[in-house]
Amino acid sequence: MPEPALRAVDLSRAFGSVRAVDGVSFVLPKGGSLGIVGESGSGKTTTARIVVGLDRADTGEVIVGGRSRPARVRGRARRLARAREVQMVFQDPCLSLDPRTSVESVLRETLRLHFPDRDHTLRVRELLDQVGLSTRAVEARPGQLSGGQRQRVAIARALAVEPAVLVLDEAVAALDVSVQAQILNLLADIREETAIGYLFITHDLGVVRCVTDDVIVMRHGRVVESGATADVLSGPRHPYTRLLMGSVPRPGWDPERIAAARRAL
């Protein structure tokens, strides 16, 4: 069996008396797409931050490309090498894009940091084309772009370092439904072209159904159900998974009944 792009082994993280992540393990194959779903406070974002290296695990390890990633990395070269393995796209690109900086400068800054000896002019154009942005966008600043365009810039910046894994933390949650579909289609095309692995952090089961091969369901820091996405969503075994599916608004949806079911768990 080929080495997976990423493995998380028995990750745990506590903040005081609260165990935000409690014994979480999963495998992301090369070129695969895995969803982590759950309500706010389920531990999915803390898990993602541990995977990327923005937070540390109290116990357990993250293995990328067959190599274990230490909780703390010393030295600029090692930190850059780790950043090239796994990149993250956040929900709100405005929080990570400098409003004073043009799209071209955003991409060039990342490329210069990781590949200082290369000429980046062609690569900037390639990245814009890869995410479906016109070359006219190079001089634009974040405030001059739509929400979908800003998220495309954030994706381009993450792809600039040629990572093996892209972690997407609610990356389409703030977008209109039509724009969500465009970004998800874009991500599907990129995965097909590059064999990059995706780790989707989301509460949206519609997103999970559209773009993931496998899914894990988290509650109170623990994995309560996992498996192939089609199997889990068509025949959920755990009551919490069934509750999440019942919480999706549709004709006849009763929020009071859902709230009562949640309290009973």
> Are 45 and 201 contacting, i.e. CB atoms less than 8 angstroms apart?
yes
Segment 165-180 shows an average pLDDT of: 89
Name the band, by pLDDT with cuts 50, 70 and 90, for residue 251: very low
> Are 161 and 87 contacting, i.e. CB atoms less than 8 angstroms apart?
yes
Q: Give residue-wise pLDDT tens across range 31-62.
A: 999 999 998 899 999 999 999 988 989 999 99
Which three-class secondary structure state does DSSP give residue 189?
A: helix
Residue from 177, 190, 173, 171 nearest 131 by CA: 190
Residue 259 has pLDDT above 90, yes or no: no
Which three-class secondary structure state does DSSP give residue 241?
A: helix
Count, residues in the chain: 265
Helices (H), 33-120: 44-52, 76-85, 103-114
Q: Decide: pTM greater than 0.85.
A: yes
**92/151: higher pLDDT:** 151
Count the Cβ atoms, other than its own, within 10 Å of residue 38: 25
Report pLDDT for 78: 63
User: Nearest 5°: phi and psi at 37?
Assistant: -120, 155
User: Nearest 5°: phi and psi at 202?
Assistant: -160, 160
User: Nearest 5°: phi and psi at 47?
Assistant: -60, -45
CATH 3.40.50.2300 fits 6-234, yes or no: no
CATH 3.40.50.300 maps onto the chain at 6-234
Residue from 32, 34, 65 nearest 47 by CA: 34
